[in-house]
Chain A
């Protein structure tokens, strides 16, 4: 266990030594709040709460895709990785440390969103709602963590960077994160239940407001989780097989 924490601590240190990476993580979701949520729905308690929930999903999904997708593929290209593999520990402490580090950055990514919501909007949530929302964040973050790992283990660094940039915005927009629940343009409403972002948002909206979750979207979130767990595990094993067999 202590080795897992050691790996987590050093990976965290490595990342925060490049402050731009951390600022980027924290800046975009917060900036989206300030530019899109505060001026338009900030004064309406219900709308602001839903919008904040959407932004938390935006922050966590984007951060997962980038942190794992780029982080893993970058590390796979570095000669440091095989060196670590010669140390008397299996590959698991490194992977577990990575998940812990990634989760830490996930939390860092949506904290500013919550701060902006609390200070500059009328969004509200009771402690019970926040507890439910925490559960929704976890359930919603898992498939995106797996998506990031899939990208990271299957693609070389430059391709991973491009793919992460290509998928995050369509996922956010297509999932209806840029609109109030059920108020996205017609075609978005048609496709969004089938995207994992929508399922994650449905859970968040239900946690913090009077919202009945779209059952197709929630079911699809489960399907995505299973599918992406398979592709991530497959990619991991394939990478192990390529580099260490």
Chain B
């Protein structure tokens, strides 16, 4: 028997006025997983996180956090969330912000230990308004870990960080989950999801499009991007799931690039500068979104 999930969404929909931000999404977060949540802007990622954090109520369906309603404060005792780094109280010192958050939890990580883990020891006495962008980001992420959470929700944890800062933060996040704990993170960076997550959930236009391992999601949309320079839109090709023009190039997404290239050559179409790439995960989910929609 598998352990009960830390968080669960069952057929959850959420409307903002007439806009359907989430459309019957179901998702389980079992213990011990890092789950990457992928999707273009406006896909419903933040809405899902807000529902799990108890900030919003589902229009229909059920959201559970540790077996209960996340809107009850007691359910959030083992939840860790990051604030937006732009929202840190500018006049409070780093250690003060950590202690303020720690005061809400039964068994918080000692402030000095947490600051050490996120490389903030040197700036502990600095006001958050005076921190660099990277330091603010690290503090924001550190705050999610203060209460020794079993579920951490990270909304784009490393957006805006340089490569080395990003890698350092990854180390801190990766060091966290044990058998018992899980992380749900959204990201704009594919590399980040691939580096951290064991499972990927793709949502687009409010719907769950895919849910599986990184490689299975790749396989699901094992696409190649065949790109050529051409004057015309090269009609009549089969096996093209998406096409798009960019800087005079025509990009054709296909599951079978060999067949497509043969067709291109046989058709005698006028093209130059042929390139073939494996589609990135981002291109894959964009195609997936377009297909479903």
Contact = CB atoms under 8 A, between A and B. Distances in A.
Contact of A83 (B73, B83, B147): B83
A83 B155 CA distance: 12
A211 interface: no
B76 interface: yes
Nearest to B77: A88
Contacts, number: 68
Given A13-B92, A13-B96, A245-B56, A86 B76 contact: yes
B100 interface: yes
Interface string A61-96: 000000000000000001111110111111000000
Contact of A86 (B55, B96, B100): B55
A36 interface: no
A169 interface: no
Interface stretch (B101-109, B165-173, B189-197, B231-239): B101-109
A18 interface: yes
A40 interface: no
B148 interface: no
A86 B86 contact: no
A17 interface: yes
Contacts of B86: 79
Interface in B78-102: 79, 81-84, 86-89, 91-92, 96, 100-101
Contact of B83 (A79, A90, A244, A245): A79
A44 interface: no
A62 B104 CA distance: 33
A10 interface: yes
Contacts of B92: 10, 13-14, 17
B172 to A, nearest CB: 19
Nearest to A77: B87
A6 interface: yes
Contacts of B57: 244-245
A131 interface: no
A139 B101 CA distance: 34
A3 interface: yes
Contact of B53 (A3, A6, A78, A86): A86
A10 B104 contact: no
B121 interface: no
Interface string B98-139: 001101110000000000000000000001000000000000
B105 to A, nearest CB: 7
B175 interface: no
A79 B84 contact: yes
A244 B56 contact: yes
A17 B87 CA distance: 17
Contacts of A81: 87
A14 B89 contact: yes
A86 B79 contact: yes
A237 to B, nearest CB: 14
B38 to A, nearest CB: 22
Contacts of A2: 103
Nearest to B128: A80
A80 B54 CA distance: 15
Given A17-B91, A79-B84, A83-B83, A10 B100 contact: yes
Interface in A1-28: 2-3, 6, 10, 13-14, 17-18
* Nearest 8 A/B pairs, CB to CB: A79-B87, A83-B83, A17-B91, A80-B87, A79-B84, A86-B81, A87-B104, A88-B76
Interface of A: 2-3, 6, 10, 13-14, 17-18, 78-83, 85-90, 243-245
29 contacts: A2-B103, A3-B103, A10-B89, A10-B92, A10-B100, A13-B96, A14-B89, A14-B91, A14-B92, A17-B92, A17-B127, A78-B87, A79-B84, A79-B86, A79-B87, A80-B83, A81-B87, A83-B83, A83-B143, A86-B54, A86-B55, A87-B73, A87-B105, A88-B73, A88-B104, A89-B73, A90-B73, A243-B55, A244-B57
